[in-house]
Amino acid sequence: MDEDQVRSKPTPEQTQAEKQRPPTFAWLKTILVSSFVSILIAGLSFYVYDTHFALKIVTVDLKGFIKTQQQLSFSGAIDQETMKINIRTLSEKIKSIPKNTTILIKEVVVTDEKSLTY
């Protein structure tokens, strides 16, 4: 063997040290991938919880609705059939609200965060 071949062969200690040392920036890639996956899972968890499980409260101004319908009916702006259609429309909107939503009459709510429009 010539001298160059002897020098180029790694010693067992050098080979062992190279195997144990992680590749450069591999830890950065691991941290970035782990962070991305964690953020993605947390975001999806919040979305699913908010849409399917979290309790929501909606108010309905039933008294105002009835008063408006009476005024329109007495003034002749709408007839009896149109008033029935408007009442059915409000009823359908109330029935279409998801099960995790509680409906309260506007008179019992202090703040009007979210109101069902008719």
DSSP structure class, residue 114: S
Higher pLDDT, 46 or 2: 46
- Split into its structural domains, the chain has a count of 2
pLDDT for position 41: 98
DSSP structure class, residue 53: T
- Do 92 and 115 fall within a single domain? yes
- Do 103 and 60 fall within a single domain? yes
Query: Range of 114's domain?
Result: 55-118
Q: Does any domain span residue 4?
A: no
**Phi (first) and psi of residue 56, to 5 degrees:** -120, 150
Question: Exposed, middle or buried by CB within 10 Å (0-12, 13-18, 19+), for 97?
Answer: middle
pLDDT for position 45: 98
Q: Does any domain span residue 2?
A: no
Sequence-distant (≥ 6) Cβ neighbours of residue 94 within 8 angstroms: 60, 103, 116
Q: Does any domain span residue 5?
A: no
- Do 62 and 116 fall within a single domain? yes
Q: Does any domain span residue 114?
A: yes
Q: Does any domain span residue 3?
A: no
Tell me the DSSP string of 80-100.
HHHHHHHHHHHHHHHHTS-TT
pLDDT in tens, 56-105: 988 888 888 999 998 998 888 888 899 899 999 999 999 998 888 988 88
Question: Are 63 and 108 contacting, i.e. CB atoms less than 8 angstroms apart?
Answer: no
- Do 107 and 63 fall within a single domain? yes
pLDDT in tens, 15-52: 666 666 666 678 889 999 999 999 999 999 999 999 88
pLDDT for position 10: 62
- Between CA 106 and CA 58 the distance in angstroms is 9
Q: Does any domain span residue 98?
A: yes
